Each structure stands twice: as C-alpha cells, then as structure tokens.
Amino acid sequence: MTSPPWTLSLPSSDRTQFQFERTEVLSRVASTGDFAELSVFVDDWQNTAELHADSELSSALGVEIEQPLGSLVQ
C-alpha cells in the first residue's frame, strides 16, 4: 500500500511506525465500520509530519520552558 506524500517528512522510524499502526487501524475499521478512528489517525500523523517539515516550529517546540506562563486551570 502506498503511503501519502506527506509521510516523506517523517523520520524513517516514524514512517515505519505509521505503516505498522495504519495496518492495525485499517483492520479495526474494516471490522467495525467506524471510520472516525481512521480520520483521527490520519490527522494525528499528518500533523506530526507537518511539525517535522517545519524546522522553525520544530525548534520552537523543543525549547525547554523555564517559567510557566500562568496558573493551572482547574
């Protein structure tokens, strides 16, 4: 099965994980008919690929937060 073009932005180990998980998700979707899980799966992985493709965003998210911006919402 061919992977979507955006998976090329993923590191090799993530592409392997994507393919493994895709097989599992497609199997569950085939047996349950619940395509919502497939949609969430694709959206999550596509967002991950976009993060890897944007070096500025990836760097910004990798910076340690020294001081929280505010109090916790309860």
- Domain assignments of the chain as residue spans, ordered by start: 9-51
Residue 67 pLDDT grade (very low, low, confident, very high; cuts 50, 70, 90): confident
Q: What is the DSSP letter of 34?
A: -
Average pLDDT over residues 38-60: 93
Q: Is the pLDDT of residue 12 over 80?
A: yes
Average pLDDT over residues 23-37: 95
Is the pTM higher than 0.85? The answer reads: no
Q: Is the pLDDT of residue 74 over 90?
A: no
Average pLDDT over residues 20-40: 95
10 touches 52 (CB < 8 A) = yes
